[in-house]
Amino acid sequence: MTDLERIRLAMLGGAGVGKSSIIKRFLFKTYTDKYRATVEDLFSREYDLGGVTLKVDILDTSGDMELSAMRRLSIATAHAFMLVYASTSASSFQCVKQCFQEIREQRADYQNIPIVIAGNKSDLANTHREVRLEEVTDWVYCELPRLRAKVLECSAKEDQNVTDLFKTLLSLSRFLPVGSNNDGTSGLKRRSSAYVSASSSRNKNRNASPSVSGGKKSSLVEAVDPATSCGDAKLKPRSRSLIRRVSRKTKQQIHNASDDCNLQ
């Protein structure tokens, strides 16, 4: 029997900065310009790391800064954070600062929590930039020293640095070695994956979304970026019984904030 390691990543930031686009580009290699406000969605992936199973939950939160109760629950249950702003919006960077302030107030262990600050929409930065990368790095490394944090700019639309965001988070979480060259020697193997919409879980008759499963051994890049191991294959639905079990489990995790959420 393998041991289970779990990490829950909470995506925080203002509305319209591209949190959902980053997730969908990373997991499914898809992108759309159409905007749909997120209430709360949960994506899950499982990987084999030798005798250890790593389960990664990605919680996509609402960009509505008025929904403070939901954001507090997300902060309480997360092991790592990705704070997303748009490099084309100065106000979105202020939202990131507000999110971090809430993390610092709510989590006594905030200095030990892996945090990636992601500046999305870098493809528009040449003509519409409002937030300089130096401004963000100065804030993180000068005003907020001693954090386990990294700053990266990315573009979900152009698929620039999206995979690096998640690789950096796993490295900060010490699941991946810093400076890994992803040469395929890690022996990582993706076990299964599932997608659960937390917002729809509030309905009694909610349906689980399709999920992807993979059985072949994958390189480190494929393990960090699941879409590379499934190519253009269509998503296949899992069995109904397994979907129900995963749905019930993730629903309980979202609505029951746990104190046992520190990184091991």
Collect all residues with Cβ–Cβ distance below 8 Å to 135 and sequence separation of at least 6: 93
155 has pLDDT over 90: yes
- Residue 95 vs residue 63, higher pLDDT: 95
Q: Kindly report the backbone phi and psi dihedral angles of residue 228, in degrees, each rounded to the nearest multiple of 5, phi listed first.
A: -70, -20
Q: How confident is the model at residue 29 (pLDDT cuts 50, 70, 90)?
A: very high
Q: What local confidence, expressed as pLDDT, does residue 107 receive? A: 95
Rounded to an integer, the average pLDDT of 110-134 is 96
User: Quick check: 42 and 59 in contact, CB under 8 A?
Assistant: yes
Neighbour tally for 130: CB within 10 Å = 15
The pLDDT tens digits of the residues spanning 193-236 come to 444 444 444 444 444 333 333 333 333 345 454 444 444 434 44
- The residue written with tokens 């528009």 in the block is 124
Give dist(CA 28, CA 73) in Å, integer.
27
Give dist(CA 60, CA 38) in Å, integer.
8
- Confidence (pTM): 0.69
Per CATH, the homologous superfamily of domain 3-255 is P-loop containing nucleotide triphosphate hydrolases (3.40.50.300)
User: Quick check: 63 and 18 in contact, CB under 8 A?
Assistant: no
Rounded to an integer, the average pLDDT of 238-264 is 47
Nearest to 98 by CA among 17, 199, 9: 17
Rounded to an integer, the average pLDDT of 234-244 is 46
Q: What local confidence, expressed as pLDDT, does residue 180 receive? A: 52
Give dist(CA 73, CA 81) in Å, integer.
13
Q: How confident is the model at residue 75 (pLDDT cuts 50, 70, 90)?
A: very high
Neighbour tally for 36: CB within 10 Å = 7
> In this prediction, what percent of the chain has a pLDDT beyond 90?
45
203 secondary structure, DSSP code: S
Residue 197's SS3 state is coil
Residue 255's SS3 state is helix
Rounded to an integer, the average pLDDT of 125-136 is 96
Q: Where are the alpha helices (DSSP H) in the chain?
A: 19-28, 68-77, 90-106, 125-128, 133-138, 162-172, 220-224, 240-255
Q: How confident is the model at residue 176 (pLDDT cuts 50, 70, 90)?
A: low
138 has pLDDT over 70: yes
Collect all residues with Cβ–Cβ distance below 8 Å to 102 and sequence separation of at least 6: 68, 71, 72, 75
62 has pLDDT over 80: yes
Q: How confident is the model at residue 56 (pLDDT cuts 50, 70, 90)?
A: confident
239 has pLDDT over 90: no
Q: What local confidence, expressed as pLDDT, does residue 189 receive? A: 46
Lowest mean pLDDT among 34-43, 117-126, 183-192: 183-192
